[in-house]
Structure 1
Amino acid sequence: MKKYRQKNDEGLTLVEVLAAIVILGIFFVGIMTIFPQMTVFNAKTETKLDTMNLARQEMVNISGQTGWIGKRSIIDPSIYEDFKTVLAFKMPASGYAETAPTADYIRYEKVDGYRYEADVYLECQPFLKEEETSLKCNDPSLAQLHKIHLKVYDGNRVSSQTFSYIKFLVEKRVD
């Protein structure tokens, strides 16, 4: 009987090496296209986080001011400053310029690195306690809440937005 020589399986043929290189090349090209996309995504996420923090900080600067108080006349207590009058003074003092007043709200704009747009709604909501349910906004002795919608633009695109309320009260003491 003849003994057959076994085929040498110790090495790779040139065709096998080329096929492996082509498969690995396709794999690496696919992986490499992810990195630029990740960079763009990270930049967008960083901008979004920056503008979210700026929006929150700006909202605190606007709504947290202590000067949202109207003054009442000493001679006739029924004469007092309304919210719109105080608003016309406070927003420009915060660096905002009135851009688009409507019947429902007044839009203010500020550019400070990013463009801020604040819609301050003129219709109030009474500041209620749990036991008091029949308060009206036309009672100047009660605190009133006015909604504010703040948008932060990155270029022409809204990057972040937030909502809050301005607490407005007419002082009982007289100026």
Structure 2
Amino acid sequence: MKKLKSQQGLTLVEVLAALVILGIIFIGIMTVFPQMTFFNNKTEAKLDTMNLARQEMVNITAPEKWQKIILKDPIDPATNISSFLSEAKIKDEMTALGYSFNTLSSTHQLLRFERLYEENSKKYMYELDVYVQCEEYTDSSTSGCEEEEKDKLYKVHLKVLVEPTPGTGNYVVNSETFSYLTYSTVNETSPESAGD
């Protein structure tokens, strides 16, 4: 029998070293997967609440809710009703949407409303701030808060809160969005004075 002069192969030490290196790499890769799953779940929840916030803001700022016909009698100046949005009007419209009045902040001149919302066994809390002070238009040629201006802007801030641990009643902000209520006024002459 002839002896092989060069034996090719791996020694036991080399095999063990390779397994240790592969194990370290595998453990490193495996720790990434749970983080990716957590990140994906968090992103999905954030997208869900962003869509809810946008959808709710469309309902809140619907133009047909925020119109008022002001009857102006050219003979009687007492019929010249204020064209500013009243707190009572805001409360009525928000109550109609299922919101409950929470508080009035005199510091920030805002009304705060809350509403619980449930979808697919997930509970959300909507927190809505309506600023009762008219915002001026960015166009410098018109002052958006003058009495005679037809449209007035009122800032709205909507936050969507979620329960990180279901059943605790502790909510944290997950998404928020801003918009404006455009309070449109239509100036008309009262029917009594129109025939004169």
TM bin, normalised by shorter chain, reads 0.7 to 0.9
| Partner secondary structure for residue 29 of structure 2 | helix
- Matching residue within 66, 69, 72 for 1:68: 66
Mapping for residues 39-58 of structure 1, pairs under 5 Å: 39-58=37-56
| Partner secondary structure for residue 98 of structure 2 | coil
Tell me the residue number matched to 2:183. Answer: 168
Tell me the residue number matched to 1:145. Answer: 153
TM-score, normalising length: structure 2 = 0.76
CA deviations on 1:6-25 (whole Å, 9 max, x unpaired) are 442x1111111111111111
Give the distance between the partners of 1:96 and 1:65, measured in 2 at CA: 18
Give the distance between the partners of 1:77 and 1:126, measured in 2 at CA: 25
* Residue identity opposite 1:12 in structure 2: L
> Which 4+ runs in 1 deviate beyond 4 A?
none
Give the distance between the partners of 1:142 and 1:65, measured in 2 at CA: 14
Aligned residues: 168
Say if 1:69 and 1:169, in contact at 8 Å, map to a contact too: yes
Q: Runs of 5+ in structure 1 lacking a partner?
A: none
Tell me the residue number matched to 1:15. Answer: 13
> How much has 1:137 moved relative to structure 2?
1.9
Give the distance between the partners of 1:89 and 1:140, measured in 2 at CA: 24
Give the distance between the partners of 2:17 and 2:58, measured in 1 at CA: 62
> How much has 1:141 moved relative to structure 2?
4.9
Mapping for residues 127-138 of structure 1, pairs under 5 Å: 133-135=141-143, 137-138=145-146
| Partner secondary structure for residue 52 of structure 1 | helix
Say if 2:114 and 2:128, in contact at 8 Å, map to a contact too: yes
Say if 2:103 and 2:112, in contact at 8 Å, map to a contact too: yes
Say if 1:143 and 1:167, in contact at 8 Å, map to a contact too: yes
- Matching residue within 105, 115, 118 for 1:110: 115
Give the distance between the partners of 1:36 and 1:91, measured in 2 at CA: 42
TM-score, normalising length: structure 1 = 0.84
Moved more, 142-151 or 79-88: 79-88
Q: CA RMSD in A?
A: 2.3
Give the distance between the partners of 2:154 and 2:51, measured in 1 at CA: 22
CA deviations on 1:78-128 (whole Å, 9 max, x unpaired) are 234742221011011011111121121001111102111110001102457
Change (3 A) 1:136 1:63: closer
